[in-house]
Amino acid sequence: MNDTLERPPAADATEAAQSFVTLTLADQLCGVPVLAVRDILAEQTITRIPLAPPEIAGSLNLRGRIVTAIDLRRRLNLPAAQVGAARMSVVAEQGGELYALLVDQVSEVLRLPVAACEGNPPTLAPDWAAYSAGIYRLQGRLLVVLDVARLLALAPRT
Amino acid sequence: MDDLLADFLTETDESLAELDVALVKLERSPGDEATLALIFRMVHTIKGTCGFLGLPRLERVAHAAESVLGRVRDRKLTATPEIVTQVLEGLDRIKAILAGLRANGAEPAGDDAALIATLDGIAERRARRAPPPDAVPQASPGGEPVAGAEPTAGEAAAASQTIRVGVDVLEGLMTLVSELVLTRNQLLQLARTEENPAFTVPLQRLSHITSDLQEGVVKTRMQPIGNAWNKLPRLVRDLARDLGKRIELIMLGAETELDRQVLELIKDPLTHMVRNCADHGLEPTEARRAAGKPESGRITLNAYHEGGHILIEIADDGAGLPTAKIRAKAISLGFATEAELAAMTEAQIQRFILRPGFSTAAAVTAVSGRGVGMDVVKSNIERIGGTIDLKSVAGQGTTVTVKIPLTLAIVSALIVQAGGERFAIPQISVVELVRARAAALDGAAADHAAADPAGETSVIERINDTPVLRLRERLLPLVSLTGLLHLEGAAETRPDDRAYIVVTQVGATTLGIIVDRVFDTEEIVVKPVAPILRHITMFSGNTILGDGSVIMILDPNGIARATGVGVGGGDPRAAGRDPQRAGPSLHGADGPTAMLLFRAGDGAPLAVPLALVARLEDIPRARIESSAGQPVTQYRGQLMPLVPFAGALDAGRERFTVLVFSDDSGGGPARSMGLVVDEIVDVVKDRLRMQLGGARPGLLGTAIINGASTDVIDIAHYLTLAFGDWFKAPRAAVAANVLVVDDSGFFRQMLAPAMTAAGFRVTAVASAAEALARRDAGEMFAAIVSDIQMPEIDGFELVRRIRAEGAWAELPVIALSGSTEPADIARGRAAGFTDYVTKFERDALLASLRQCLGQGAPPLGLAA
């Protein structure tokens, strides 16, 4: 079941098109392959975890399972969200564990042809390049495909 | 076929484990027909099934083993150790082949010819009258009944009532039940706030059923601890052969049940401890004979339930832990100094073997002592929330007691709050709760604390920045959860706020955790933390409370380690990171000595043992008066003389820091003396490396503390400055001559001035041999004060020899020891000591001396 996460979405050549859950992070449109998404959550109570790495926002209760929440703004070194701003999360699974990716807003699901995916421009900021699996040119906006596996590859700090 | 093979593997594994046990039993009683029949049947079944499944290599080995067993069953052979060894070797080969089979689904390649030839050789040895081995009862592979085809009637009945269920199915059930419990709790909470009678009854039923279901599912995970023991008889037998010892293994309470997860985790530590018993614990046969013990050593395993926990005792009747060796090793490894060891009890010294990197085996043997030792056992046990305890009596053996929770899945926990966040602390490690008030360093607060020490509200005192609590005559090191976890809410706690202290015990370490609030205890379902958070050692897991919120479960072990209070807390990272490491506990299990560092004048930093300081005060200049040319202050309704250290009073400051030394005994009005210093620097728990030479009066000597050379002051000197008669008993007689025996120069230096000041003449010697030499030379003393732990002749032996003969036989002999636990005192009295006094408690010693010498002074207890 983790195959969907470990394989970059663009490499899935057998399908002509792929569906993405679109979301915004500091006004940037991003997409996560829909197969990697387990749940979409509205604002949740998140318990802070002392001494945890900064990008760990805390943990939350998803129907009896404990889910670690990761603040994608901090993961991508973006400015912190405004205090009190409602945030949503996209839940993904990695190695049997659930993670909630905290984003600003989740919007519709888009079906995009695989062939239209372009590689990262070489000038893309390193923070984005590290987690981008490709770029789609949509009408008037660019969509960055986020690589969930890489986003969740959090190494414990020693 | 795959399923069949998997079933075969599982069943054969079980049979093999049983076979090991049965064969060892057979070896001990070769005539036991029931055991022999059981063995024969199991080997026969394995062989038959192998043929059926087409596993020729396994079948040949099993067949050869069966042939030998057949001869034994037919009484053509006797089950000698040699034969049993060969059969066991055959079983080992079968196990190896099975391992390969499990890994690859096919028999691994290999040559068993030599083994089979040996087995056949044994079978034929005295088989002249018997038919050749090939004709031993053995059917053609295809026609052989499969496993379980010839069980006894009882077994058949039992078999029909059990089914094999995959562990993952049980685990899945457990998770579901856990979630059901949480949902039930949420419902109950809702029902409490919204009174709706229509729901009350069904909800109650749901609640009961959920509890029963939970209990039932937990039960499915339970297994008798005997399952973790079944490899031990074989292990002990082989060890006994290898080591040339005779060892008897006794297993009690094998039916005690515990969670399979826990069972898996304690298997290896248990095995290791049994190895230790056999290898290091039990003496060689000759030594046992010489000591008048039965030649056959005994290892006893005992498991039983006690209050939601399982206790497992691993005991041997060997020589006991070699305390002298452990001492020497602790010094050579730099774990402790001579001075620290001198203040420790034997039990504390023995606990060194639980420290990482400590192996007592003088020579590394093949059996144990391979660099991993009891410290690994300890950390494995602690990982599952258990504790480990040692008890050793020289010449009588060692008992290790392991206490582990019944299950890891559901624990009772105390819910607390700190810095606005809630946390769970497992109930197993909570000893008590104390309500306390944080106190500033002002006189009023300290006065209150002193006036009402046993009152409802205790006061958190601070020595520099280190919080401590006086709890029943002990100083309890404290750690603030808010500070430890770097919670932002720290500012909320103002000095006069109420706080709660959760007193936790981990092994022999007691630590108080300061929290803001305490809620309730709850049964929580422990869930492991996400891998990304595993490196945070403060948490052992997380859980969901009845109200649906997620909280972290604190790990008292991790906290103790992070604060450096824990036994064996050798985590250098934690030590370097946390300045609060300097726990103020003088009686820490095996910790270094706690010293109060202060400054006065321009010289080196000064130090005094923290245990001697009663209080720290901050006194304004206005409150200092003069009486008969001596500075005094009004303190608790009395005049307290002040002794300025190095002209500290002359400094043009408005407030002065005063160390109060007090005499709180009931004998007369309490007296206090204040030592005025410039500032308190810190409380440091460090190894006291005393460089002797108290050149000036008032200095015991210089030590290196925290890497800086520090003068250790002699409080006795300043007490005499304040009260000329501080140490003098009201009816002091002629100066009595006292002999002090202590191998530690530090203590000789510390005791002699105090005793001299108290009006005794002191002769100090460094060893028991020296003391006995003085006796034989005809010297006479009024009393003898002796250390317990000394090299070569220890205190117990010394007093035995003194009592045995010579002019000193009737003299009072007082023991100085690191502890005054009842057991130690009893032992001391049995050996012939008149009294038993804790080191550092100078005044208890003086009181005891006076009593022994008939001077009858009221005991002076210098408050510590």
Q: What is the 3-state secondary structure (H, E, C) of A51-106?
A: CCCCCEEEEEEECCEEEEEEEHHHHCCCCCCCCCCCCEEEEEEECCEEEEEEECEE
Distance from CA of A97 to the nearest CA of B (A): 7
Mutation for B interface: A2, A45, A55, A59, most B CBs within 10 A: A59
Q: State the CB neighbour count (10 A cutoff) for residue B17.
A: 16
Record: contact A47-B549, CB cut-off 8 A: yes
Which amino acid appears at position B93 of this protein? Answer: R
Provide long-range contacts, Cβ within 8 A and 24+ apart, for B353-358: B353/B321, B353/B326, B353/B390, B354/B378, B354/B388, B354/B390, B354/B507, B354/B567, B354/B568, B355/B567, B355/B568, B355/B570, B356/B568, B356/B570, B357/B333, B357/B570, B358/B329, B358/B330, B358/B333
Chain A CB within 8 Å of residue B177 CB = no
Residue labelled with tokens 């939350």: A60
In the prediction, which pLDDT does B441 show? 38
Record: contact B550-A158, CB cut-off 8 A: no
Interval A75-89 mean pLDDT: 85
CA dist list (Å): B220 to B35, B165, B213, B253, B260: 30, 10, 11, 19, 9
CA dist list (Å): B494 to B448, B463, B470: 18, 17, 20
Q: How many alpha carbons lie under 13 Å from residue A102 in its C-beta half-sphere?
A: 26
For residue B326, pLDDT over 50 is answered with yes
Chain A CB within 8 Å of residue B533 CB = yes
Record: contact B532-A60, CB cut-off 8 A: no
* Cα angle: B44, vertex B48, B51; to 5 degrees: 145
Q: Do A135 and A120 touch, CB atoms closer than 8 A? A: yes
Residues 6+ apart with CB under 8 A from A131: A75, A76, A146, A147, A150, A151
Record: contact A45-B532, CB cut-off 8 A: no
Chain A CB within 8 Å of residue B531 CB = yes
For residue B301, pLDDT over 90 is answered with yes
Q: Report how far residue B714's alpha carbon sits from residue B697's, in angstroms, rounded to the nearest whole number.
A: 8
Q: What are B248's strand-pairing partners?
A: B298
For residue B302, pLDDT over 90 is answered with yes
Chain A CB within 8 Å of residue B550 CB = yes
Q: How many residues does chain A have?
A: 158
Lowest mean pLDDT among B213-217, B276-280, B621-625, B745-749: B745-749
CA dist list (Å): B781 to B342, B800, B853: 24, 17, 11
Q: How confident is the model at residue A19 (pLDDT cuts 50, 70, 90)?
A: very high
Record: contact A66-B552, CB cut-off 8 A: no
For residue B356, pLDDT over 50 is answered with yes
Beta strands B615-620; B606-609: pairing state? unpaired
Task: Pick the closest to residue A5 from A41, A32, A39, A40 (CA basis).
Answer: A32
Least CA distance to B422: which residue of chain A?
A: A47
Q: Report how far residue B45's alpha carbon sits from residue B62's, in angstroms, rounded to the nearest whole number.
A: 9
Record: contact A51-B538, CB cut-off 8 A: yes
Residues of chain B with Cβ-Cβ distance to A49 below 8 Å are 533, 536, 539, 552
Mutation for B interface: A60, A66, A93, A97, most B CBs within 10 A: A66
Q: How confident is the model at residue B3 (pLDDT cuts 50, 70, 90)?
A: confident
Distance from CA of B179 to the nearest CA of A (A): 5
Residue B130: φ, ψ to 5°: -95, 160
Q: Report how far residue B430's alpha carbon sits from residue B761's, in angstroms, rounded to the nearest whole number.
A: 48
Q: Do A108 and A22 touch, CB atoms closer than 8 A? A: yes
Please name the member of A53, A56, A64 whose beta carbon is closest to the beta carbon of B544.
A64
Q: Report how far residue B757's alpha carbon sits from residue B168's, in angstroms, rounded to the nearest whole number.
A: 74
In the prediction, which pLDDT does B87 show? 83
Tokens of A6: 């470990």
In the prediction, which pLDDT does B528 show? 79
Helix (H) or strand (E) segment spanning residue B638: strand B638-644
In the prediction, which pLDDT does B493 show? 47
End-to-end CA distance of chain A: 30
Residues of chain A with Cβ-Cβ distance to B179 below 8 Å are 63-65
In the prediction, which pLDDT does A95 show? 80
Tokens of B280: 């290091």
Tokens of B639: 């005049």
Distance from CA of A24 to the nearest CA of B (A): 25
Chain A CB within 8 Å of residue B534 CB = yes
Q: What is the pTM of this model?
A: 0.47
Q: Report how far residue A147's alpha carbon sits from residue A36's, in angstroms, rounded to the nearest whole number.
A: 10
Q: How confident is the model at residue A157 (pLDDT cuts 50, 70, 90)?
A: very low
For residue B300, pLDDT over 90 is answered with yes
Residue labelled with tokens 């005794």: B760
Q: Report how far residue B12's alpha carbon sits from residue A156's, in angstroms, rounded to the nearest whole number.
A: 42
Q: What's the pLDDT tens digit per position in B656-683?
A: 888 877 654 334 455 678 888 888 777 7
Q: Report how far residue B833's alpha carbon sits from residue B683's, in angstroms, rounded to the nearest whole number.
A: 35
CA dist list (Å): B740 to B434, B663, B764: 41, 24, 5
In the prediction, which pLDDT does B5 show? 78
Instruction: Write down the mean pLDDT value for chain A.
Output: 84
Interval B62-87 mean pLDDT: 81
Highest mean predicted confidence (pLDDT) among A43-47, A67-71, B612-616, B772-776: A67-71
Please name the member of B183, B534, B550 whose beta carbon is closest to the beta carbon of A156.
B534
Q: What's the pLDDT tens digit per position in B612-647?
A: 777 777 788 888 888 777 888 887 767 788 888 777
Interval B369-391 mean pLDDT: 72
Helix (H) or strand (E) segment spanning residue B509: strand B509-515
Interval B202-222 mean pLDDT: 87
Mutation for A interface: B417, B550, B555, B571, most A CBs within 10 A: B550
Q: How confident is the model at residue A37 (pLDDT cuts 50, 70, 90)?
A: very high
Angle between helices B822-831 and B795-804 (to 10 degrees): 30
DSSP 8-class letter at B508? T
For residue A134, pLDDT over 70 is answered with yes
Instruction: Write down the mean pLDDT value for chain B.
Output: 75
Record: contact A59-B530, CB cut-off 8 A: yes
Task: Pick the closest to residue B710 from B682, B676, B744, B748 (CA basis).
Answer: B682
Q: Do B418 and B559 touch, CB atoms closer than 8 A? A: no
Least CA distance to B528: which residue of chain A?
A: A66
* Cα angle: B177, vertex B178, B184; to 5 degrees: 85
Q: How confident is the model at residue B797 (pLDDT cuts 50, 70, 90)?
A: confident
DSSP 8-class letter at B82? H
CA dist list (Å): B400 to B26, B252, B677: 29, 15, 48
Q: What's the pLDDT tens digit per position in B550-597?
A: 999 998 888 887 876 644 333 333 333 333 333 332 233 233 566 788
Distance from CA of A6 to the nearest CA of B (A): 17
**Number of separate helices (H) and strands (E) present in chain A:** 4, 10
Q: What's the pLDDT tens digit per position in B804-847?
A: 888 888 888 888 876 666 777 777 878 888 888 777 666 677 77
DSSP 8-class letter at B478? E
In the prediction, which pLDDT does A88 show? 92
- Above 0.85 for ipTM, yes or no? no
